Amino acid sequence: MCGIVGYIKGNKISLQSQIASIKHRGPDASGDCYYHFENRYVGLGHTRLSIIDLDQHANQPFASINNRYVIVYNGEIYNFIELKESLILKGFKFRTNSDTEVLLTAYEYYGSKVVNYLDGMFAFCILDIKTQHP
């Protein structure tokens, strides 16, 4: 499975050593992103084990279409196809075939209640860049 790391701190630090330490969890790709909000820094990192969508556009950290949200995610959403179909009926568009994008889009629609709509095993962090809250 993939690996995720992150922090909220008063200063920016690189996640490269943490990402390197979990590379065995996701040898196919890795990435990180950093944000500065007033008096704190947020860093998110990910190592990827490509299973569902092998395209590099599904790599993480993954940003929503409107760039408001960023996610790092590890796990499997068993009902992601059904969830995606219901979101398409609500007017949402998708760029990838990844369960990551489905999870992030479902969060956009359902907010923190998204976990009530998920069947699976998972851990994730979603950062709302507009409100500056993870």
Give the catalytic positions in this structure.
Answer: 2
Within the chain, what is the greatest distance between any pair of CA atoms? 43
The answer to whether 61 and 26 have CB atoms below 8 angstroms apart is no
- Residue 70's nearest CA partner among 92, 42, 89 is 42
75 membership: H or E segment, kind and range: strand 69-77
